Amino acid sequence: MPLAKIYSKLDLHSKSLNLINKYKDYINRKNLQILMTLAKILKKANRLEEAISHYEEAITLAKLENNLKDEALGKFYIASIYLEKGQPEDALQYLIEYNDLFKQLFDKNQDNGNTKQV
């Protein structure tokens, strides 16, 4: 970020903004990975409500990035927690959302001519 400040002081605001936006995208990707990992660890520690909360945060970031794969995975993991907690109705809702996202991801890959497995 110091370089962005230097650009700004030199009245190179466009360069400064471009650099900050690239940095922000990088940080969001890293934060998403951190949140998913933290949620997995919390689940293993049987801190299920905290795990759900972190998965929800990760899903929000994934949506902002239009990252269907991680959004779908977050939904799937939350569904598995609800099943573990004996709440099948809540799990079903997340599984339906997971299924819808998975279909979108599959369709997107088909449209791009990408036939590798999702």
Q: Is 113 helix (H, G, I), strand (E, B) or coil?
A: coil
Q: What is the pLDDT of residue 15?
A: 80
C-alpha–C-alpha distance, residues 47 and 39, integer Å: 9
Q: What is the pLDDT of residue 115?
A: 55
Q: What is the pTM of this model?
A: 0.73
Q: How far is CA 11 from CA 1, 4, 67, 110, in A?
A: 16, 11, 34, 45
Q: What is the pLDDT of residue 29?
A: 72
Q: What is the pLDDT of residue 76?
A: 98
Q: What is the pLDDT of residue 116?
A: 55
Class of CATH domain 2-111: mainly alpha
Q: What is the pLDDT of residue 103?
A: 94
Structure-derived torsion over alpha carbons of residues 24, 15, 17, 55, reported in degrees to the nearest 10: -10
Degrees to nearest 5, angle at CA 63 with 39 and 16: 105
SS3 content of the chain, % helix, strand, coil (to 5): 85, 0, 15
Per-residue pLDDT 10s for the chain (118 aa) are 677 778 778 888 788 778 777 777 777 778 888 889 999 999 999 999 999 999 999 999 999 989 999 999 999 999 999 999 999 999 999 999 999 999 998 888 887 766 555 5
Q: How far is CA 43 from CA 11, 52, 56, 77, 89, in A?
A: 48, 8, 13, 9, 19
